[in-house]
Amino acid sequence: MFVTGLLLGADSAPHLGAPWQLLDYRGGTLFGAALDGARECGFDQLVVTLGSASEQIHDRVDLDGVRVVESPHSDTGSASIVPALDAVDRRADGIVVLAGDQPGITSATVWSLVAEAATPIGVCRYDDGESYPCWFGRELFGELRGLRSDADLWEPIAAGAHPVTRVDAIGNIPPRATSWSSYRQLLSSGGGPGEDLPLDAYPRQVTEGVHRRAAY
């Protein structure tokens, strides 16, 4: 099987006041750490999407050996996944989608997902909900080209039009730096996500009683 990894790094977070991709993380950058994790997965092909902060990211992050897809309009809500599909190798059986602000994803989680996803869509089911990484078989590429934004990636999963394999992953959802408080948690302990995470960070919440607000 030929598997392409797709690391999403094109969207912006204007409320943070700086490109989230370049936030400090363990002696490097947040996006650099997520990219290192994606490299460790040993994908047959690795594609990353970059948006308005592309030039700064090129200056700070080692992008050798990956296919970079520029998506400058992602700041206005356009889906970077759509142009990224044009860069996916023709031999790819499917893509594993990863979030660039979620460096805690492990290669074991990724390959368990690939191995167990017996349907066109696969999603990881953690102790406290569902989150990245996600698997989309090639037969879903046409539908993914109709996405309006990267957050809409979760619509095919929730819609029920296609069978979905939910693959159990160990522990809680790896935290994402979608707000200053969740970023501080990521730096301090790597614990679970904070209660002010936007909806797209917790796309299919399982635990009851967690406050969710609209995504930025």
CA nearest neighbour of 16 among 185, 176, 215, 177: 177
Q: What is the pLDDT of residues 3-54, one digit of tens each?
A: 999 999 998 776 566 788 999 998 999 999 999 999 999 999 999 999 988 9
Q: Where are the domains of the chain?
A: 3-173
* Model confidence at 176: pLDDT above 80: yes
Strand partners, 8: 49, 99
pLDDT tens digit string along 118-150? 999 999 999 999 999 999 999 999 999 999 999
- Give the C-alpha distances (Å, rounded to integers) separating 54 from 30, 39, 48, 209: 14, 19, 11, 38
Mean pLDDT of 90-106: 95
pTM (2 d.p.): 0.84
| Dihedral pair phi/psi, residue 68, rounded to 5° | -95, 130
**Is 3-173 assigned to CATH 3.90.550.10?**
yes
